[in-house]
Chains A and B, each alone.
Chain A
Amino acid sequence: MSALVVVLTLPLVTALTVLLLPARARVPVVLASSALIVLAAGALALAVWHGGPVTLAVGGWAPPLGIALRADGLAAALIMMSALVMGAVALAAQFELTPDRVGARMGFGFWPLMLLLWAALNAVYLSRDLFNLYVGVELLSLAAVALVALSGSAQALAAALRYMIFALAGSLLYLAGVVLAYGAHGTLDIGLLAVRVPAHTDALALGLMTAGLLAKTALFPFHVWLPPAHAGAPAPASALLSALVPKASFLILIRLWFEAMPDLASGAALLVLAALGAIAVIWGGVLALVQKRLKLIVAYSTVAQLGYLFFIFPLAGGDGSAQPWAAGAWTGAMFQALSHGLAKAAMFLTAGIYIAAIGSDRLGDLRGLARTLPMTGFAFALAAITLMGLPPSGGFTAKYLLMTSAFAAGQWPWALVLAGGGVLAAAYLYRPIAALFAQRAQTAARPIPRAWQAVPLVLAALSILLGLLSAIPFDLLQIGRPAPAQEGL
C-alpha cells in the first residue's frame, strides 16, 4: 500500500517542488525522484506479484461514498513501464531541453508538465472510480496539450489546438456516459457497477464513454489529431505522448468493457472496435509509408500500432472471455501496449538526438548518420524490430499471442492483419533505417554525449528483453485479470 501511495503522489510532490526550485536544482531533483518512483513501481509490482491486487480506499471511505484505488497486475505493469519511459525521457531531456539550448521558457516548462503527466497517468492506472478517471484524464490531456504546444511554432500550436478539440470532445462524451451511469446506479465504482441491476440506459452510457475514449486513444477515424501533435512536440515530449498517453484511455476502455459492464459486450460492438483497429493498422501504416520526416513516420506508426490493441475486444471480450484463448489475447494486447511504449519512446528519443545533431529529421538529411552516431542507429533498429513484431522482442510475443488466439477463436482475419501489419511496419521503418545506413557520411553533425545516446538504446533493449523474459510479465498480467463472465448458472 505504501508503494502505491508513493507511486501516486511522488510525481505530484516533485512537480510542486520543481516549481519552487531554482533552475539549477531542477534536473537533479527530477532525476532523483524518478529513480525513487521506478523503485516504488518495482516494489508495487512485487507486492502485487506476491500478494495479489493492492487496494486502497482513499480517505478511508469505501465506495460508493469514496474512491477506491486498485493496483492489479495490469496497472502495476503499466506503472512500471511508464516509470521506465519517464525516467529515460528525463535523462534524455536533461541534455536536450537545457535552457541554453532551447531557452528559459521550454527549459522550465517541460519539467513540471512532464511530472504532472506522470501523476495523471498513475492516477488513471490505479483509479476504480469513473468520475475520478474523468478528472485524471483531463489532467492528462491538459498536460499533454501543453507539451505539444511547448515548441511554440505555429504548426505546433495548431496541432495542440486540434488535439485539444478532440480531447475536450472526448472528455465531454465520456462525462455524458458517467452522468448516465451514476444517474442509473448511484455509484461510480467499477466494482459496484459490475454487480449493478442492469438499466436500459447502460448501453447508451457505455457507448458514449467508449466514443469519448476512442477519440482520446486516437483510434481510426479519430486519429487525425495524433500525427501532427506527436510530431510537433519536442522529442522527449513526443516520446511521452506517443508511448504513454494513449495507453491511459485504452486502459479505461478495458476497465469498462471487461470489468464494469462486460454483460453489454455484444458481438457486433466488439467486432466494430476490432475492425476500426484493423483499419487503423493498415491506414496508419500506409500513411507512415509516404511521410518524409522521421517524427511523422514514427507518429503515424503509433496510429497503426494502437490498432492492434483493439483486437483484444472480440478475442477476449464478451462471450470470448470464458474461452481458453482469452488469456492469450488479453495478455497479447497488453504486451503490445508495454512493448510499444518502450520502443516508441526509444524511437522518438533517437529522433531527438538526430535533430540535436543536424537540426532536421527529414529522411534526406539523415543519410549516413548511422556512421556518425552508431549507438543511436542501433537503438532505432532495435526499436524497429519490436514494432515490426520480429522475434525475439516484446512485440513478437504480443503478436504471437494475439495471432494464436485469433486462430483458436476462428477469427483469422485479425491474424491476417497482424501478419500484414508487420510487413507494412517493416516497409515504413525500412526507409529511415536505409537512410541512416546510407553511405554519405555526415560531417556537419554536432557531437552528442554518449550518455544521451545510451538512453534510447536502453529503452529499445528493454523492449527486446520483454520478449526474451516474457514469462514474468505474462504471469504478472494475469493477477487480478477480470474473471470470465460470472459463472453462476
Chain B
Amino acid sequence: MTAALPVLILLTSLIPAGVTFFLAQDSHGLRNSLNLGGAVLKLGLIVWMLFAVAGGATYEATLPLAPGLVMLLRVDALALLFISLSATLWFLTTIYAIAYFGAKPELSRFFGFFSLCVAATTGLALSGSLISFFIFFELLTLSTWPLVAHKQDKPSLSAARVYLAYALPGSAALLWAIIWLESATGPVLFTDPPDLSALDPYALRAIFALFIIGVGVKAALVPLHGWLPAAMAAPAPVSALLHAVAVVKAGAFGVVRIIYDVFGAANVIALGVGVPLAALASVTIIWGSLRALQQDEIKKRLAYSTVSQVSYIVLGAALASPLAMIGGLVHLIHQGLMKITLFFCAGIYDERAGVKKITGLNGMGQRLPWTSVCFSLGAMGMIGLPPLAGFVSKFYLGLGGLEAGAPWVLGVLAASTLLNATYFLPLLYRLWFLPAAPDATGNERAPALVIPAVVTAAAAVGVGLLAASPISPLGWATLIVTREYGP
C-alpha cells in the first residue's frame, strides 16, 4: 500500500485523462462523471493520506527508467501541502468548467488535457527526485499548451505560441541545470540533499541561475513573465486553475524545492544567491503591480496581479529564513484560494453579463451580488486586509525579512500593498458604488458557476480567520518548516 497510494493518486487523474480523449463529444454524462469521480476519489485518497502521514506513515514508489533516471514518487509534508490545494481546486474547477462550457465543441479534448494537466501537477507535487520533477514539469507544459490554444482562434493560438516560446527554452535551461548538477553529484533525491562540494562555487552559482531561469518561466518572474498575461486568451476555467494554481504554483513550488531540497538554505546563503533572487522577486512584485494598474481588461489585470503575487512565494523562499519561508509557503495556498476566486468571478462576469472590461463592472454589485461579494473578498484578501488570508502571508513575510536581516523587504511589502489597493479598490468602487450602465444585463442563475466561487471565497476567509489552528495552511506550513527544514 505504501507504494501504491502515490501511484493511485496519480492514476485518479491520469485514467480519466486517457479515457476522456476517446469519448465522443456528446457523451457528457460519462465524461463528467469520470472527471468528477476522479476528482472526488483523489480528494478522498489525499484526506486518507493526510491522516496516515500525521500518524507517521511514509509513501514511496519508484520506477527506474535507466541508470540515474529514476521516477520517484514520494509524499512529504511539502508535497501534501501542494497536492491538497490542487486536488481541492481541481474538484471545484471541474464543476465550474462543466457549467461554463455547457455544450461547446471539443469538450473531450479539453477535459482530457485538463485531467492530464492535473496529473502533471500531482506528479510534480509528489516528485521525490529532480528528474521526476523535470518529467512532470514538462508534462505540465505539454498538457497546458492545448488548453491555452483551446479556442483555436487567432489570439489563443498566438498566446499558445508565446507560451511555448517561453516554456521550452526554460525547460532546456532546467534540464541543463539538472544534468550539470547530477553529472557531479549523481541523481538528486529530495530526501537526501546532494553533496555540493564536488562543484566549485562559480559553477554552483551558474547552476542555480539556470535552475531559476528554468522554473522562473513558470513562476512568471520578471523578465520571464510575458507568457502569462498573453495566456489570458484561454477560457476562464483554464485561467482559473492553470494560472492561479497549476502552472505558476509549479514554478514557485520548484523554487522552494530547489532552494530547500536541492541546494539547502545554508548553501543558498553561503553562495550569496538568495539576496539577488529576493531582489528579483521584489522587482517582479512591484513591476507586476504597476503593469496591473495599466490594464483595463479584468483578466489581464488579474494576470499581472498573479505575476506580482506569486513572487511573494519566491521572495519567502529566497530569504531563506524560517519565518519568511512560512510566509512564502502559506501564500502558496492563500494566493491560490484568492486568485481562483477572482478568476471564477471574472469568468462569471464575462459569461453571465458579458463584462470583460473594468468599466463594465459598474453597478454589478446589484445584478450579481454573490459573485461580487466573492470578488470583493478575494480582492481585499489580495490587498492584505486583516484578518483575510493575504494579511497572514504578508505578516510572516515581513517578519521573515527582518529575521533574515533584510528590512527593505518591509518597504517592498508596503509598496506592493499600496499598489494592490490602487488597482483593486477602484474595481470594488465600481461594483458597489457606481450606477450600472442603462443597457447592462446579467444574472447569476448558474449555481454551478457561482457555488465554486463562494466555496473558495469562504475558504480564503476561513484560512485567515483560523490561521492559528494547527490544521490551517499556516499551521501546516509552520510544521513543514520546523520539522523538515528547521535548524
**Interface flag for B430 (CB, 8 Å):** no
Asked if B134 and A420 sit within 8 Å, CB to CB, the answer is no
From known contacts A415-B179, A423-B168, infer whether A439 and B153 are also in contact, taking CB-CB under 8 Å.
yes
**Interface flag for A447 (CB, 8 Å):** no
Asked if A403 and B65 sit within 8 Å, CB to CB, the answer is no
Asked if A471 and B65 sit within 8 Å, CB to CB, the answer is yes
Number of interface residues of A (CB under 8 A): 39
B residues 123-176 touching A (CB-CB < 8 Å): 131, 134-135, 138-139, 141-142, 146, 149, 152-154, 157, 160-161, 164, 168-169, 171-173, 175-176
**Interface flag for B352 (CB, 8 Å):** no
**Interface flag for A456 (CB, 8 Å):** no
Asked if B176 and A404 sit within 8 Å, CB to CB, the answer is no
A residues 407-427 touching B (CB-CB < 8 Å): 407-408, 412, 415-416, 419-420, 422-423, 426
**Interface flag for B28 (CB, 8 Å):** no
The digit string for A364-397, where 1 denotes a CB below 8 A from any CB of B, is 0000000100100010000001001011100011
A residues 461-481 touching B (CB-CB < 8 Å): 467-471, 474
B residues 403-434 touching A (CB-CB < 8 Å): none
From known contacts A407-B183, A423-B168, A426-B164, infer whether A328 and B68 are also in contact, taking CB-CB under 8 Å.
yes
**Interface flag for A400 (CB, 8 Å):** yes
The digit string for A325-341, where 1 denotes a CB below 8 A from any CB of B, is 00110010000000000
Complex interface: chain B residues within 8 A of A423 (CB) = 168-169, 172
Least Cβ–Cβ distance between B355 and chain A, in angstroms: 25
Q: Per a CB cutoff under 8 Å, which of A378, A422, A470 touches B65?
A: A470
Asked if A392 and B139 sit within 8 Å, CB to CB, the answer is yes
Q: Per a CB cutoff under 8 Å, which of B138, B149, B180 touches A391?
A: B138
Asked if B65 and A437 sit within 8 Å, CB to CB, the answer is no
**Interface flag for B109 (CB, 8 Å):** yes
Asked if A474 and B66 sit within 8 Å, CB to CB, the answer is yes
Q: Per a CB cutoff under 8 Å, which of A378, A390, A437 touches B149?
A: A437
Complex interface: chain A residues within 8 A of B64 (CB) = 471
Least Cβ–Cβ distance between B22 and chain A, in angstroms: 9
**Interface flag for B67 (CB, 8 Å):** yes
Complex interface: chain B residues within 8 A of A407 (CB) = 179-180, 183-184
Least Cβ–Cβ distance between A457 and chain B, in angstroms: 11
**Interface flag for A61 (CB, 8 Å):** no
Complex interface: chain A residues within 8 A of B149 (CB) = 437
Q: Per a CB cutoff under 8 Å, which of A371, A390, A426, A470 touches B66?
A: A470
Complex interface: chain A residues within 8 A of B182 (CB) = 404
Asked if A403 and B175 sit within 8 Å, CB to CB, the answer is yes
Asked if A437 and B157 sit within 8 Å, CB to CB, the answer is yes
Complex CA distance for A391 and B140, rounded to whole angstroms: 10
Complex interface: chain B residues within 8 A of A204 (CB) = none
**Interface flag for A213 (CB, 8 Å):** no
Complex interface: chain A residues within 8 A of B152 (CB) = 371, 437-439
Q: Per a CB cutoff under 8 Å, which of B67, B154, B172 touches A419?
A: B172
Least Cβ–Cβ distance between A434 and chain B, in angstroms: 6
Complex interface: chain B residues within 8 A of A404 (CB) = 68, 179, 182-183
Asked if A415 and B66 sit within 8 Å, CB to CB, the answer is no
Least Cβ–Cβ distance between A378 and chain B, in angstroms: 8
**Interface flag for B30 (CB, 8 Å):** no
CB closest residue in chain A, given B22:
A375
CB closest residue in chain B, given A473:
B66
**Interface flag for B99 (CB, 8 Å):** no
Least Cβ–Cβ distance between A143 and chain B, in angstroms: 34
Complex interface: chain B residues within 8 A of A7 (CB) = none
Complex CA distance for A34 and B157, rounded to whole angstroms: 42
Least Cβ–Cβ distance between B381 and chain A, in angstroms: 37
Asked if B66 and A401 sit within 8 Å, CB to CB, the answer is yes
Complex interface: chain A residues within 8 A of B21 (CB) = 378
Complex CA distance for A467 and B67, rounded to whole angstroms: 13
Residue among B68, B134, B154, B179 with the highest chain A CB neighbour number at 10 A: B179
B residues 437-457 touching A (CB-CB < 8 Å): none
Asked if B146 and A390 sit within 8 Å, CB to CB, the answer is no
From known contacts A392-B135, A422-B172, A423-B169, infer whether A468 and B67 are also in contact, taking CB-CB under 8 Å.
no
What DSSP secondary structure best describes chain A's contact surface?
helix
Complex CA distance for A328 and B160, rounded to whole angstroms: 35
Asked if B68 and A419 sit within 8 Å, CB to CB, the answer is no
**Interface flag for B468 (CB, 8 Å):** no
Complex CA distance for A445 and B456, rounded to whole angstroms: 46
Complex CA distance for A400 and B176, rounded to whole angstroms: 10
Least Cβ–Cβ distance between A412 and chain B, in angstroms: 8
Complex interface: chain B residues within 8 A of A331 (CB) = 66
Complex interface: chain A residues within 8 A of B63 (CB) = 468
Asked if B65 and A467 sit within 8 Å, CB to CB, the answer is yes
Asked if B171 and A390 sit within 8 Å, CB to CB, the answer is yes
Asked if B65 and A468 sit within 8 Å, CB to CB, the answer is yes
From known contacts A328-B67, A401-B66, infer whether A434 and B157 are also in contact, taking CB-CB under 8 Å.
yes
Least Cβ–Cβ distance between B88 and chain A, in angstroms: 27
Asked if B138 and A390 sit within 8 Å, CB to CB, the answer is yes
CB closest residue in chain B, given A385:
B142
The digit string for B197-237, where 1 denotes a CB below 8 A from any CB of A, is 00000000000000000000000000000000000000000
Complex CA distance for A403 and B226, rounded to whole angstroms: 29
Complex interface: chain B residues within 8 A of A469 (CB) = 65
CB closest residue in chain B, given A388:
B168
**Interface flag for B69 (CB, 8 Å):** yes
Complex CA distance for A328 and B63, rounded to whole angstroms: 18
Least Cβ–Cβ distance between B455 and chain A, in angstroms: 34
Asked if B168 and A426 sit within 8 Å, CB to CB, the answer is yes
Complex interface: chain A residues within 8 A of B173 (CB) = 419
Asked if A390 and B176 sit within 8 Å, CB to CB, the answer is no
Least Cβ–Cβ distance between B395 and chain A, in angstroms: 39
Complex CA distance for A438 and B106, rounded to whole angstroms: 13
CB closest residue in chain B, given A422:
B172
Complex CA distance for A437 and B171, rounded to whole angstroms: 23
Complex CA distance for A470 and B66, rounded to whole angstroms: 6
Complex interface: chain A residues within 8 A of B106 (CB) = 371
Asked if B179 and A403 sit within 8 Å, CB to CB, the answer is yes
Complex CA distance for A430 and B158, rounded to whole angstroms: 12
Asked if B69 and A397 sit within 8 Å, CB to CB, the answer is yes
Complex CA distance for A246 and B191, rounded to whole angstroms: 44
Complex CA distance for A196 and B98, rounded to whole angstroms: 73
Asked if B161 and A400 sit within 8 Å, CB to CB, the answer is no
CB closest residue in chain A, given B172:
A419
Asked if A430 and B171 sit within 8 Å, CB to CB, the answer is no
Q: Per a CB cutoff under 8 Å, which of A401, A420, A470 touches B172?
A: A420
**Besides A331-B66, A407-B183, A439-B154, 20 other CB < 8 A contacts?**
A328-B68, A371-B152, A388-B168, A391-B135, A396-B135, A397-B66, A399-B175, A400-B69, A400-B179, A401-B69, A403-B176, A407-B179, A412-B180, A416-B176, A422-B175, A438-B152, A439-B157, A468-B65, A474-B66, A474-B67
Interchain Cβ contacts under 8 Å between A and B, 20 examples: A390-B142, A391-B138, A392-B65, A392-B135, A397-B65, A399-B175, A401-B69, A403-B175, A407-B179, A415-B179, A416-B176, A419-B173, A422-B168, A423-B169, A423-B172, A426-B164, A437-B149, A468-B65, A470-B65, A474-B65
Nearest 9 pairs between A and B by C-beta? A407-B183, A391-B135, A439-B152, A419-B172, A403-B179, A470-B65, A426-B168, A474-B66, A408-B183
